[in-house]
Structure 1
Amino acid sequence: MMLEPSIDKLMQNINSKYTLVTLSARRARQMQETNKYLIENYDSEKYVGIALEEVNQGKLYYTVDEDAE
């Protein structure tokens, strides 16, 4: 079974697997609490899958806070 979106596609938007996992897990918890999504059409039935689809479509991303480093 092939997973969509693929890790290769996701890594084009988020350059770290650790960041990708952390970001999608946090977003999944947020969706579970609020029931609000950044995309209207999604294929996944699970929150983490929807979060990964949001990353793939460029709706979910992160920025680096230069002051925090």
Structure 2
Amino acid sequence: MLYPSIDSLLEQVDSKYSLVILASKRAHELDEGAQPMIEPDKFVSVKNVGRALEEIAVGDVVIDPNPELKRELLRRQEEEKKALKRREHQELEARIQFEKKM
């Protein structure tokens, strides 16, 4: 890997291990359709891992300073999704029961 250099990346992230985890998570986000933080025509790399590293090198992607807060937010979002699915399922069952009675 020539660009970005490991030295420039380690100026942004304090350890190689943290860098690997951060790049991996960002690459997965990009794989799932997240918007790039750099304009697409400015990327040197065509692969998402390289793009994630480029975003880290310019300082656009950083380690979350409060991961517990983020985990709590994600947990709540998942609970809300599950509750919404349960309500939709209950409404569908109620509609089916109502149509059967008619």
TM-score interval, smaller chain: 0.7 to 0.9
* Paired position in structure 1 for 2:15: 16
1:15-46 deviations in whole A, cap 9, x for unaligned? 11111000101110110111520101110011
* Paired position in structure 2 for 1:3: 2
Q: Which has the higher contact order (CA 8 A, sep 6+)?
A: 1
Name the CA distance, whole Å, in 2 between partners of 1:47 and 1:66: 23
Partner SS, residue 56 of structure 2: helix
Name the CA distance, whole Å, in 1 between partners of 2:10 and 2:48: 19
Q: Unmatched 5+ residue regions in structure 1?
A: none
TM-score w.r.t. length of structure 2: 0.59
Q: Which has the larger radius of gyration?
A: 2
Deviates more, 1:27-36 or 1:6-15: 27-36
Name the CA distance, whole Å, in 2 between partners of 1:35 and 1:64: 21
1:35-59 deviations in whole A, cap 9, x for unaligned? 5201011100110100000011110
Name the CA distance, whole Å, in 2 between partners of 1:66 and 1:48: 22
User: How many percent of aligned residue pairs carry the same amino acid?
Assistant: 40
* Paired position in structure 1 for 2:48: 47
Q: Unmatched 5+ residue regions in structure 2?
A: 70-102
* Paired position in structure 2 for 1:58: 59
**What is the aligned length?**
67
